[in-house]
A and B are shown apart, each in its own frame.
Chain A
Amino acid sequence: MDLADPRFDRASAERFAADEARRHDVFVAFDRRSGKFTALPGCEGSSVDTLRLDDIDWSIDPALSGTWRMKLRDGTVEVTPAFALFARELARFAPEKVRALTGVHPSIVDTLARDLTRAKVAVLTLGFAIGKHFNGMLSQRAIASLAAFLGRLGPEGGLNTENEWSIGGLGGLSGFEGRYTHRFASGFVSEFMMGDGFASPERAFDDADFRRATGKDEARYVKEVSELVARTEGDAGEKRGKPWWKETDTFLLFADARFRRNKGRYREAFLEHARFVAYGDTRMSDFATYADVLLPCTSAYEAWDLRTNPGYHRFANLAVPPANLTPIGEAKSEWEIATLIAEKLQALALARYERTKDERSLRIPDPTHAQAGFHPLDRLVEEFTLGGKLRTDRDAVEYALEHVEQFRPETARTMVERGGFLVLNDKAGKSSPLYPDRPYSTFENNLHLNQRFETVSGRLTFYVDDPAWIAAGAHVPTAHEPLASRRRPFLLMTPHARWSIHSTYKVSPLLLRLQRGRPCAMLNPAAAARRGIADGDEIRIFNELGEAILVAKLAATVPPDAIVLEHGWEPFMYRGKNGHNALVGDMLNLLEVTDGWGHLRFGTAWDGNQHAYDATVDVAKAGGVAGR
């Protein structure tokens, strides 16, 4: 037995020493009260679903520190509580070390720690931005774990993230009563593979970058990631991790400006791969200009819509088309368009059947995702519209208002009367009650009712018992260096925009006139001066993957080693349609691709993201020469 192997730190109690010690869903603690190891209630493999440490049948005082000897079937080992391992890892990040790594002065760490501890309510809010760095996910996890250190949950603070409301009853809109299951692909893996993602890292990063960020050389890291991704391809790989389907080459997409968003050579790779693209949108996005068929959609304020928001606020907003609305051209809502397409598909299938009398005209085989083993095209419209009940955007909104318990008792009329919104009722709280007269705070149910968290330990989980995470030194919360190359002096930061919602409204003249009318990059004045760049100059930012032409805007608020460029600009707003994302060579993070341990199973709560902040660039006056 290798005692240095941290996997043994989560070994089991004596009474689980046989089979259950191999189960990763049973967690044990050393109970200081009894002096013995005991299984913890509330973990995934526990027979009880409460987190209570004191109950009629048990009273546990778990050791959080120290080392303990545990007798296993094949010998005695020394074990350490996961929390103590976490504390040991934290000790590596003493304030002076943090200062060397980040430039943040120790006194600020100290102030922050005191403020978080002493504040009456201390809430940690985590958004997406940190995850835009290659190893940002690890930092997010470390930040989230502070909630445990603070001992704050519920009304005293704790962690506030997204995806909080519990809203049920919408399944009827797309569930087909269980007759079909979705091919639910992992977004970041699918886009990476669709965009020939493995072509970019070699040019964007070097061996030193990989070693710094992952501890492995580039060839080995890329090989390990590509092997993992290959396992999850297609129907056969669907249950093995982050699924993606290579064979998808015919697209019906709505409002998905994917050439604006994706990195590296995505546009070229997509166009090489795609056979046919039908695209619906309210506006002419860059992606729309490449579509084979363009479907004009009514805008957000011209269609019926009900917008809920995952966790940011407790309202659902209703959009109702204005009275006497004249649609622009042939614009229709996405619901209507989809219904019309379903009708056309069915009519074509029936016509072909009439012609050939071949049953295959009416049945698309699908042995894995259709209960009947096929999709019946002669019943497509009936199934798609729920027997004719769901044909339009208005139908969908009314269905939702009727079927979602958390919307009751509101109707479209009462929503209009109060100004176009409803307040979610008390059923919408997921981990806490949603009080009508108090701010919502997460995890009250866990704190007060001892309900288990949706983690394998049932608790805030510090230890990931997965070989890849252990090998990466990430079995407990930690921080790793970024992958972004140090060959170029500026980190390209592309945060969410002020003047658009991603790329929506990006080409609005009204809003462009409140900017500078074209994509502009914010540069630190001193850094710009060293390159002879003045405010308003046309500049090119460039690296190994390409270049983009923009306008320089000098801003004292920008760090000297970064270029800040609002995201969302459509490629067609750049010269040569060379958008800035072509300069970003992303690489999948092995830990984000890894899947299957405990609660780290692919789904809406465990997927990865693109690393938009992985690129470093240099900058020069357009036509000029770079250099200090």
Chain B
Amino acid sequence: MNKILGVMVVCLLSACASQTTQPISDIEDRSLGVRGGEGARNGMGTDGFGLSPLQDPNNILSRRSVYFDFDSFSVKSEYRDLVLAHAAYLRGNANAQVLLQGNTDDRGSREYNLALGQRRADSVRNIMLLAGAREQQIEAVSLGEEKPRALGRDEASWAENRRTDILYQGEY
């Protein structure tokens, strides 16, 4: 836990420090483990082209899925920036609200998967709260294995279904 907090503090500091930095390229956005300030550059509203940062494919905020390992609910380091970017957006937009939907692959127990999906949603929620989003902005729910996005019976499909989706108002 201490380690997670440590990483988060670093992330938050760097996020604050980079308020004025120029947009970072898409490629850097997707690089793993890079603690950059891309999260906070779209603190509010829309960018210069009138596109909402939530929809702008060049913005990390357009990425909405956090993926997990089998039977795991810990947010992998490669998704921390993504979650922190959304937390920063919530912090900067007091009226914004998100629904976090936790999902699992369809193997094993449906009830255990329902609980596991909740923990996956809660993991993302907890990071957002620690990063300054407010409780009333976030609802975390589980769909368990009941609403699979990928329907195959293979590792690629299962991996796709082990995720938490971040949905803003009007998207659910």
Report if A and B associate in a common complex.
no
Chain B contact residues, CB within 8 Å of chain A: none
Chain A contact residues, CB within 8 Å of chain B: none
